[in-house]
């Protein structure tokens, strides 16, 4: 939400205070229709709660006649804090040339920074020209109109490994990623998010399946921060990654850390009890809570309640679900 929007919103608040009446809520589709494509807006309020899993009592609350002026002001301050958009910046500071037998290509180091954050919040990935080319082709298929004027650095017959060409592409790819991220529908698309996270997730799950839990955990912890920032409007989408982290910690005999990440995953599923990870996660959390001397009875009650509402079907364990992710 930009500064002008904040000012407008605060003026509306003053009018609401004078009226002390219940205000009507604009539907998400209306808000989407009235916004430009590249506008950085509050994703948590725009998204369809049923579709993206963002339904929450605090986000659906609206001012009502029982609120005092002070309460209305505090309510609006909280709303603005919740709607603060995370904005990401892309930098490509360096490259390296990779040679494998008959193939040779350039890997571009991409640093993804959160605005106003310290270096601890940055993510570092590497992608080659063909990865960018595949992304561009996929986005053109799905977002033909949005991608109509987006230029992409073309291949050259010679000189692909000269310093001049590499430096030109570094700048071109940086501008390319920034432009894509500025377009709301593209930055939320699965294809864009997969480009930035899928290779690392595939590697992590491959390590998990091979019993290399320490290596898998290292990669998952690197990627989860970026994945959460990219999918802020759809928090349920990071549940598989959080659960994979739970599995790694549990198998590495770190029950406290496993429980911590399990709580994060459960918090994203509190209104999505039909999710395939919900019951296996609850079962794992009950075991961890018992081992740690925490309250497991409330978790057991949730599990029993779930079982009474669902038909008895074979359900995978949390680990079985995790090892099935990202299988080609």
pLDDT of residue 72: 65
Query: Which residue stretches of 20-52 are H helix?
Result: 28-33, 43-46, 49-52
pLDDT at 1: 47
90 pLDDT tier (thresholds 50, 70, 90): very high
pLDDT at residue 35 is higher than 50: no
pLDDT band at 241 (very low <50, low <70, confident <90, very high): very high
Q: How far is CA 41 from the centre of its chain?
A: 16
Instruction: Identify whether the C-beta of residue 59 lies closer than 8 Å to the C-beta of residue 3.
Output: no
How far is the first Cα of the chain from the last one, in angstroms, to the nearest whole number? 39
SS3 (DSSP) at 123:
strand
Taking only Cα atoms into account, the Rg of the chain, rounded to an integer number of angstroms, comes to 23
Q: Is the pLDDT of residue 175 over 70?
A: yes
Q: Could you give the strand order of the β-sheet that contains 88-100, starting from the edge strand earlier in sequence? A: 88-100, 103-114, 123-128
With 50 as the cut, is the pLDDT of residue 207 above it? yes
Q: Which residue has the higher pLDDT, 101 or 289?
A: 289
How many Cβ atoms from other residues are within 10 Å of residue 127's Cβ? 20
| Per-residue confidence (pLDDT) for residue 308, from 0 to 100 | 86
Report, as an integer, the average pLDDT of 287-301: 95
Residue 289, strand partner residues: none
Higher-pLDDT residue of 15, 160 = 160
Q: Is it the case that residue 313 has pLDDT exceeding 50? A: yes
The least confident of 207-211, 280-284, 323-327 is 323-327
Mean pLDDT of 169-182: 96
Apex CA 239: angle with CA 130 and CA 283, to 5°? 140
CATH homologous superfamily, domain 88-188: Phox-like domain (3.30.1520.10)
Q: What is the dihedral of CA 169, 88, 230, 28, to 10 degrees?
A: -120
| Whether pLDDT at 78 is above 80 | no
CA 289 – CA 294 distance, rounded (Å): 5
Q: Where are the domains of the chain?
A: 88-188, 199-324
pLDDT, tens digit, for every residue of 261-287?
999 999 999 899 999 999 999 999 999
pLDDT score for 61: 44
Phi/psi region, residue 159 (left: phi>0; alpha: psi -120 to 50; beta: rest), is: left
- The answer on pLDDT for 320 being more than 70 is yes
Superfamily of structural domain 199-324: Tetratricopeptide repeat domain (1.25.40.10)
Nearest to 269 by CA among 254, 259, 281, 255: 281
Q: Does the pLDDT of residue 250 top 90, yes or no?
A: yes
- pLDDT number for residue 291: 96
pLDDT of the residue at 30:
38
As a whole-number percent, the residues of the chain with pLDDT over 70 amount to 71
Percent of the chain with pLDDT over 90: 61
pLDDT digits (tens, 9 = 90+) for 113-161: 988 756 567 899 999 999 999 999 999 999 999 999 999 988 887 778 8
Residue 18 has pLDDT above 70, yes or no: no
Region 157-172: mean pLDDT is: 89
Q: How far apart, in whole angstroms, are the C-alpha atoms of residue 92 and residue 112?
A: 9
């Amino acid at each position: 939400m930009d500064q002008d929007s904040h000012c407008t919103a605060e003026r509306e608040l003053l009018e609401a205070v004078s009226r002390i009446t219940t205000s009507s809520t604009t539907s998400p589709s209306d808000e989407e229709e009235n916004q430009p494509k590249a506008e950085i807006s509050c994703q948590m309020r725009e998204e369809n709660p049923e579709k993206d899993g963002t339904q929450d009592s605090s986000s659906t609350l609206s001012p009502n006649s029982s609120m005092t002026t002070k309460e209305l002001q505090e309510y609006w301050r909280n709303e603005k804090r919740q709607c603060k958009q995370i904005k990401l910046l892309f930098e490509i500071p360096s490259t390296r040339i990779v040679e494998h037998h008959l193939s040779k290509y350039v890997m571009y180091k991409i640093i993804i920074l959160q605005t106003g954050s310290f270096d601890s919040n940055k993510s570092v990935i590497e992608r080659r020209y063909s990865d960018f080319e595949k992304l561009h082709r996929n986005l053109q298929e799905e977002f033909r109109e949005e991608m109509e004027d987006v230029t992409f650095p073309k291949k050259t017959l010679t000189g692909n490994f000269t310093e001049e060409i590499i430096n030109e592409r570094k700048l071109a790819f940086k501008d390319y990623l920034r432009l894509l991220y500025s377009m709301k529908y593209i930055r939320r698309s699965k294809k864009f998010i997969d480009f930035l996270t899928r290779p690392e997730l595939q590697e992590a799950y491959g390590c998990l399946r091979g019993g290399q839990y320490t290596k898998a955990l290292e990669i998952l912890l690197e990627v989860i921060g970026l994945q959460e920032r990219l999918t802020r409007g759809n928090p349920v989408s990071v549940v598989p990654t959080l659960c994979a982290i739970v599995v790694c910690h549990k198998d590495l005999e770190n029950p406290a850390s496993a429980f911590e990440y399990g709580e994060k995953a459960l918090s994203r599923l509190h209104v999505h009890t039909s999710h395939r990870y919900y019951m296996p996660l609850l079962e794992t959390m009950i075991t961890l809570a018992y081992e740690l001397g925490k309250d497991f009875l409330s978790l057991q009650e949730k599990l029993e309640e779930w079982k009474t509402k669902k038909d008895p079907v074979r359900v995978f364990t949390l680990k079985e679900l995790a090892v099935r992710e990202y299988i080609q």
